[in-house]
Amino acid sequence: MRKSPSTKKASIKALTIRQPFPELILRRRKHVEIRSWRTHYRGPLLIHAGLRMDSEFARELGLNPEELTTRAFVGVAVLSDVRPYTRADSKLLKKRRAGGGWYPNFFSWVLTKPRRLSAPIKAKGRLGLFGVSRAVERRISRLVSA
């Protein structure tokens, strides 16, 4: 029996982000991810730490680049809203030492309930918002349902 589209469970989406920003999200210092584009997706967002890292910026923010995971899923948060990026967002990010330059015409992806995976899941990242395999979904299902 086929499920109707309205009862089919939505799949989890993921976003690759360059370190040190995934770490700042998981430490609750960074409440928005700044993007040049918006999405209609809302719900669990698997956070993937990309291959590249801004080591100098990580040190400026008090993080040790040697201890930051790259090229892996590192946590999950809830993407609760996508709205225009504001000067207030920029000021709060600066106050929390989480970046915070001013980028007019960009968007704030509002992230709530960030949780770290107990162990990173090594994987290649992708551009844009992307789906994850069923195997990865099963591994993180307890975090997403909590």
Q: What confidence tens digit (pLDDT) does each residue in 101-140 have?
A: 888 999 999 999 999 999 999 999 999 999 998 888 888 8
Q: In this structure, is the dihedral angle defined by the CA atoms of residues 14, 19, 22 and 23, taken in order, positive or negative?
A: positive
**What tens digit of pLDDT does each residue of 38-95 get?**
999 999 999 999 999 999 999 999 999 999 999 999 999 999 999 999 999 999 999 9
Gap between the Cα atoms of 20 and 57, Å rounded:
8
Task: Name the band, by pLDDT with cuts 50, 70 and 90, for residue 7.
Answer: very low
| pTM of the complete model | 0.87
Q: Provide the pLDDT for residue 139.
A: 83
Strand partners, 43: 79
Residue type, 3: K
